[in-house]
């Protein structure tokens, strides 16, 4: 029973410049670790090959060091790897792939599908029908020639392509690099391994996107997996098993706070996340001064615990209660300033007033603590 691992969209060389330097470096390193994990899984599940459906590299201009590290990371699995150029690393006349060959970085067991055609893997009995991108964007279906490719009798026919299955992908309908939705059936494929959609997604019983093995964006699309594919014989329905490979979990939350229980529930959800979380949090609505203090303390703790936490609070108004004002002991002129800032931010969504109110409340709390010592 031939068995192989299907992966795609490694995007090696991708930079995470929007993150703090330490966090960005950790996210980059996790992508190299993901390749090592793929090699380990291929061994554990006794796979006959690893198929990479495009976008191994994030750009043609990645460093020589990145190229060498990518191929070094594959050494844990000594069986055949078949790597297909995608839209980020298209097989141009001069490309990241030709540079890798000049560097002598490509191991003997790694097959680069730089030209359309068939790569026959004799021992497992796999014929890999390859549709590499030779430019970043195409407008014809590069998998159409699969129907005319001849393969040895008894070999599985496995398609390897990178693009958008037309009419079936959310947010990607009728995009460039189109693939016909019935390609597997039309070209007598036992399995069609696809890349480009970064989440794990089944198109039909023979057609799958594996998704990227390490998430790299805030989308709830089942990223961070690899697929183990078994086909008992030519024509049999594949058995596809999704295995988790990602180290970091990416979460993007948009929350509206209105009452105290909203804040309590948000903090409970944050506390339930693992240390490997990468969190992008945007808050709006209103919170009391006491709630703001609780929120800031919780965010400070979470920032130190998670891989990354970014919180946008510019649309979260401060709404001091009478108890908040009383606790601050903001009487006289200071009390008038607090009330003025409160009215100003409520009337015009004034960020300056909000920040000033937060700073003043903090100063008043510090003063009370000093007096109490």
Instruction: Report the C-alpha gap between 27 and 216 in whole angstroms.
Output: 8
Q: Does 1 have pLDDT greater than 60?
A: yes
Q: Does 347 have pLDDT greater than 80?
A: no
Through-space distance between the first and last CA atoms of the chain, rounded to whole angstroms: 75
| Span of 47-51, 174-178, 212-216, 278-282 with lowest mean pLDDT | 174-178
Kindly give, in sequence order, each residue whose CB lies less than 8 Å from that of residue 369, ignoring residues fewer than 6 positions away. Answer: none
Instruction: Report the C-alpha gap between 341 and 332 in whole angstroms.
Output: 15
pLDDT tens for each residue of 143-162: 999 999 999 999 999 999 99
Instruction: Report the C-alpha gap between 79 and 209 in whole angstroms.
Output: 22
Question: How sure is the predictor about 9, in pLDDT bands with cuts at 50, 70 and 90?
Answer: very high
* CA 71 distance to own-chain centroid: 21
Question: How sure is the predictor about 317, in pLDDT bands with cuts at 50, 70 and 90?
Answer: confident
pLDDT tens for each residue of 187-243: 999 999 999 999 999 999 999 999 999 999 988 789 999 999 999 999 999 999 999
Matching residue, tokens 């979260």: 316
Output the pLDDT for position 166: 87
Question: How sure is the predictor about 108, in pLDDT bands with cuts at 50, 70 and 90?
Answer: very high
pLDDT tens for each residue of 30-86: 999 999 999 999 999 999 999 999 999 999 999 999 999 999 999 999 999 999 999
Count the helix, strand and coil residues of the chain and give each as a percent rounded to the nearest 5: 35, 25, 40
Cα 225-228-234 angle, rounded to 5 deg: 145
Name the more confident of 132 and 177: 132
Matching residue, tokens 């003997």: 108
Output the pLDDT for position 16: 94
Q: What is the average pLDDT across 95-119?
A: 98
Q: Does 168 have pLDDT greater than 60?
A: yes
Output the pLDDT for position 62: 97
What angle separates helix 64-73 from helix 96-103, to the nearest 10 degrees? 80
Instruction: Report the C-alpha gap between 144 and 183 in whole angstroms.
Output: 8
Question: How sure is the predictor about 367, in pLDDT bands with cuts at 50, 70 and 90?
Answer: low
Matching residue, tokens 């100063």: 363
Output the pLDDT for position 361: 65
Q: Which helix (H) or strand (E) holds 204?
A: strand 201-204
Q: Does 173 have pLDDT greater than 50?
A: no
Asked if residue 234 lies in contact with residue 155, where contact means CB atoms within 8 angstroms, the answer is yes
pLDDT tens for each residue of 236-248: 999 999 999 999 9
């Amino acid at each position: 029973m031939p068995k192989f691992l299907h992966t795609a969209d490694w995007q090696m060389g991708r930079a995470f410049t929007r993150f703090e330097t330490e966090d960005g470096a950790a996210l980059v390193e996790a992508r190299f670790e993901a390749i090592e994990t793929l090699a380990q899984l291929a061994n554990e599940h006794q796979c006959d090959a690893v198929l990479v459906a495009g976008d191994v590299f994030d750009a043609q201009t990645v460093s020589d060091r990145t190229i060498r590290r990518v191929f070094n990371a594959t050494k844990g699995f000594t069986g055949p790897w078949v790597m297909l150029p995608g839209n980020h690393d298209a097989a141009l006349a001069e490309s990241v792939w030709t540079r890798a060959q000049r560097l002598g970085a490509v191991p003997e067991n790694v097959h680069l599908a730089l030209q359309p055609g068939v790569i026959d893997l004799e021992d497992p009995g796999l014929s890999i029908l390859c549709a590499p991108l030779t430019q970043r964007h195409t407008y014809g279906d590069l998998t159409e020639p699969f129907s005319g490719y001849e393969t040895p009798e008894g070999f599985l026919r496995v398609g390897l392509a990178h693009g958008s299955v037309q009419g079936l992908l959310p947010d990607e309908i009728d995009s460039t690099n189109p693939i016909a939705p019935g390609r597997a059936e039309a070209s007598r494929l036992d399995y069609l391994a696809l890349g480009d959609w970064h989440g794990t997604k089944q198109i039909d019983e023979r057609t799958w996107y594996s998704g990227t093995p390490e998430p790299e964006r805030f989308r709830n699309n089942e990223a961070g997996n690899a697929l183990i594919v078994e086909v008992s014989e030519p024509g049999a329905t594949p058995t596809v098993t999704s295995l988790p490979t990602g180290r970091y979990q990416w979460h993007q939350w948009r929350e509206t706070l209105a009452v105290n229980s909203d804040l309590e529930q948000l903090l409970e959800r944050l506390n339930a996340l693992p240390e490997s979380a990468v969190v992008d949090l945007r808050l709006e609505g209103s919170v009391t001064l006491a709630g703001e203090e609780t929120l800031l303390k919780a965010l400070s703790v979470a920032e130190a615990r998670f891989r990354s936490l970014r919180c946008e609070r510019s649309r979260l108004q401060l709404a001091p209660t009478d108890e908040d004002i009383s606790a601050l002991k903001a009487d006289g002129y200071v009390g008038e300033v607090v009330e003025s800032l409160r009215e100003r931010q409520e009337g015009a969504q004034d960020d300056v007033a909000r920040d000033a109110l937060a700073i003043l409340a903090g100063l008043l709390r510090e003063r009370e603590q000093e007096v109490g010592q």
